[in-house]
Structure 1
Amino acid sequence: MKFYLETERLILREIFESDIDGMFELDSNEEVHEYLGKNPIKTKEQALINIQFIRTQYEEFGIGRFACIEKSSGNFIGWSGLKFNTGEKEKLNEHQDFIDIGYRFIPKYWGKGYGHESAVACLEYGFNQMNYDTIYGAADIDNIGSNKILSKIGLQFVNEFTYKEVKVNWYELNKSDYGN
């Protein structure tokens, strides 16, 4: 799969094994995992497994999380994108086999609007290029930044549910409501 998208300040592209250092910096960070189960990775091998999982998603479903590169520095700053959640293992809020939008950034890049900027581009790509009918989002209720992004890009709050003993907000946006 070849994927390349530009925003004003970001390049979104496939994640490659060569992104291992950036993925390790991202996913080994305790701050990043505050609202993700508090289980950061410990080794670069785990980062490689995460990259390989994403690349498998590209091959199997034609979509996955994408590396976010800051144009001004050329730095890997995290990832953003759409993911096909499949099967019982990835069931969430009684939903199975659905597309969700997500983003994760290295803390020194927080507060710059990159989450919003990349999510807008990914949402547009999902509806206009991939022709998805519905895109979902979920965020720990205490993750103010993530909840704010999901609302700001137009996803509508649907309900609160519990996942692994954590309260989570569930959002969705239908293509017919996109841009309205």
Structure 2
Amino acid sequence: MKLKIETKRLVLRELLFSDAEAMFKMDSNPNVHTFLGSTPVKTIDDVNDFISDVRTQYVVNKIGRFAIIHKDTNEFIGWAGLRFVIEPENELVNFFDLSYRLQEEHWGKGYAKEAAQAWLSYGFSKMKKHNIYASIHIDNRISKRILEKIGMTQKSEYKWNDIPCAWFEITKEEYSKS
């Protein structure tokens, strides 16, 4: 996949198997998984499986999660992106889900918001989508604030794999007004 998105501080590019070590550092951290079911990865093979799945999404859906690279340091600091969801979630199928995950030392610096805004812009302007969704753990106040800052609105609450979640949505029309 040749797509690359740049923001003021970040480069969003396809996930590569060479990102596995940095991803393992992030996803083996229990703090990173506090609102993700508290199931940090145990092996680098788990990370490689995730990267393989994402790379398949690039081929099948022409979109997926992308590495977040800090422009100044060229460091992998997390991932963000849109994913086409075909399994039912909150009674919806065949939708685009916005998500992000950062290494703990990069929390609180505005990177998640910057990457999420870039993906909304891409989803609405380049992909011509009419709705983009996101879901977070109901107690994840920081992600809730990020989603609200980028114009998303909480529409409902539901359970996903026994995890209480908040469901967010933004339409193209709402995005163009923000």
Report the TM-score range of the alignment, normalised by the length of the smaller protein: over 0.9
Instruction: Show structure 2 runs of 5+ residues with no match.
Output: none
Identity %: 44
Picking from 159, 175, 178, the partner of 1:178 is 175
Mapped partners of 2:75, 2:61: distance in 1:
27
Mapped partners of 1:169, 1:98: distance in 2:
16
1:26-83 Cα shifts (integer Å, max 9, x gaps): 1111111110011111111111000000000000000001100011111100001101
Mapped partners of 2:75, 2:141: distance in 1:
26
Mapped partners of 1:112, 1:160: distance in 2:
28
Counterparts in 2 of 1:72-111, with a 5 A limit?
72-87=72-87, 91-111=88-108
Q: Could you say which residue in structure 2 is the equivalent of 1:162?
A: 159
SS in 2 for 1:178: helix
Q: Please tell me the residue identity of whatever aligns with 1:162.
A: K
State TM-score, norm by structure 2.
0.96
Instruction: Give the aligned CA root-mean-square deviation in angstroms.
Output: 0.9
Instruction: Show structure 1 runs of 5+ residues with no match.
Output: none
Mapped partners of 2:144, 2:25: distance in 1:
24
Q: Could you say which residue in structure 1 is the equivalent of 2:53?
A: 53
Which portions of structure 1, spanning 4 or more consecutive aligned residues, are displaced by more than 3 angstroms? none
Q: Please tell me the residue identity of whatever aligns with 1:22.
A: A
Mapped partners of 2:19, 2:161: distance in 1:
30
Mapped partners of 1:104, 1:160: distance in 2:
21
- Structure 2 residue 135 is the aligned partner of structure 1 residue 135: no
1:124-162 Cα shifts (integer Å, max 9, x gaps): 001001111110011111111111111111111101112
Q: CA deviation at 1:165?
A: 2.5
